[in-house]
Amino acid sequence: MFSIFIKHNLIFIISFFVFIFLNIFENLLHFTNGRNENNQQIFQLTMPKKRDWIKIAIIMVVFAVLQGGITAFLSNIFAI
């Protein structure tokens, strides 16, 4: 039964994980830019604290679900 679920929702699952993978780097860059915007130093990557990672993760999951859902919905409509 689980394999039927995976086969039926494969586009959602792939879209979800691709979004999470690519977006983690973008979010890290945005976080660094926000933390260092007043500094005149060379770009330095800043790692978020645990609380900030949790906030980032929650937002990413919400948008990954939206991305996966929209992609799956549109693929069903256009039969891709």
pLDDT single digits (tens) 24-66: 988 888 888 877 777 766 677 788 899 999 999 999 999 989 9
Question: So what's the pLDDT on residue 13?
Answer: 85
Residue 6 has pLDDT above 70, yes or no: no
| Overall size of the chain counted in residues | 80
Question: So what's the pLDDT on residue 1?
Answer: 47
CB 72 within 8 A of CB 9: yes
Residue 52, CA distances (Å) to 22, 58, 59 in order: 18, 10, 11
pLDDT single digits (tens) 68-77: 888 888 887 8
Statement: the pTM of the whole predicted model exceeds 0.85: no
